[in-house]
């Protein structure tokens, strides 16, 4: 049996969309579909052919339904089964968090989890305009919303854009205290001593880690 895994395809809804990497790192990238197409062409030439493909990691760049439709159109010509599963859902549920999928049913799904007549108290957006509109529809006050996914666009009135800027020791001390008290969990994907820092970066560059990579302080 031959199994092929593809991961972190980050397919945007449109080739003209700014990717998350461009937004976070202020660099220009090619449409991720270009690289994915090269990989899919290689899969088609395998001899013996693949029995099935496993798709893992961040398949869509921002979770937009159009991204998944675009990915489906790319994968269908493979003519082999492709399997994917929701990432991190079991891990989230083990910590009392109920994951909710992005998309048209997001608002109703969140309301179904809340006591009748209540609304979420705050929201942190990592997706963009559509997600912010849904959070506002849920009744979250704009001043209780923060976004890191608007790119160069202007957030709706009242919505804050806090993050990706300089911090201070007081903020770090507060966060450290919350971690020590167990109120905030910081998952650790791997630990490396300083002399193995090159290995740490190789591991980090593999992408889609569930947690931080710690260098120093022993393994």
Interstrand relation of 52-56 and 212-215 (parallel, antiparallel or unpaired): unpaired
Whole-angstrom Cα Rg for the chain:
20
Helix (H, G, I), strand (E, B) or coil at 132: helix
Q: Which domains does the chain have, with CATH numbers?
A: 3-84 (3.60.21.40), 89-147 (no CATH), 169-215 (no CATH)
Per-residue confidence (pLDDT) for residue 19, from 0 to 100? 59
The string of pLDDT tens digits covering residues 47-92 is 999 999 999 877 887 667 788 888 899 999 888 999 987 767 887 8
Q: Decide if 4 contacts 53 (C-beta within 8 A).
A: yes
* Nearest alpha-carbon partner for 146 in 161, 133, 128: 161
Compute how many other C-beta atoms are within 10 angstroms of the C-beta atom of residue 34.
Answer: 10
Q: Decide if 39 contacts 5 (C-beta within 8 A).
A: no
The string of pLDDT tens digits covering residues 149-167 is 766 678 889 998 876 666 7
Please tell me whether the overall predicted TM-score, pTM, comes out greater than 0.75 for this model.
no
Longest dimension (CA), the chain: 59
Compute how many other C-beta atoms are within 10 angstroms of the C-beta atom of residue 201.
Answer: 13
The string of pLDDT tens digits covering residues 126-151 is 777 788 899 999 999 999 999 877 66
């Amino acid at each position: 049996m031959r199994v092929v895994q593809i991961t972190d395809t980050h397919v945007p809804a449109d080739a003209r969309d700014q990717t998350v990497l461009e937004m976070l790192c202020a660099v220009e990238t090619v449409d991720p579909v270009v690289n994915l197409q090269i990989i899919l062409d290689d899969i088609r030439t395998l001899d013996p052919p693949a029995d099935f493909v496993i798709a893992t990691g961040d398949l869509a760049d921002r979770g937009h339904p159009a991204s998944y439709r675009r990915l489906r159109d790319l994968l269908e010509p493979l003519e082999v089964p492709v399997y994917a599963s929701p990432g991190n859902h079991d891990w989230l549920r083990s910590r009392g968090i109920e994951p909710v999928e992005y998309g048209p049913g997001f608002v109703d799904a969140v309301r179904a989890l809340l006591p009748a007549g209540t609304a979420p108290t705050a929201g942190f957006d990592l997706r963009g305009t559509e997600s912010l509109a849904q959070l506002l529809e849920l009744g979250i006050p704009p001043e209780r919303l923060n976004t890191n996914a608007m790119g160069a666009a202007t957030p709706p009135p009242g919505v804050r854009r806090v993050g990706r800027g300089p911090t201070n020791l007081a903020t770090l001390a507060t966060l450290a205290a919350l971690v020590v008290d167990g109120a905030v969990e910081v998952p650790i994907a791997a630990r490396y001593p300083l002399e193995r820092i090159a290995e740490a970066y190789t591991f980090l560059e593999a992408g889609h880690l569930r947690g931080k990579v710690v260098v120093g302080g022993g393994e």
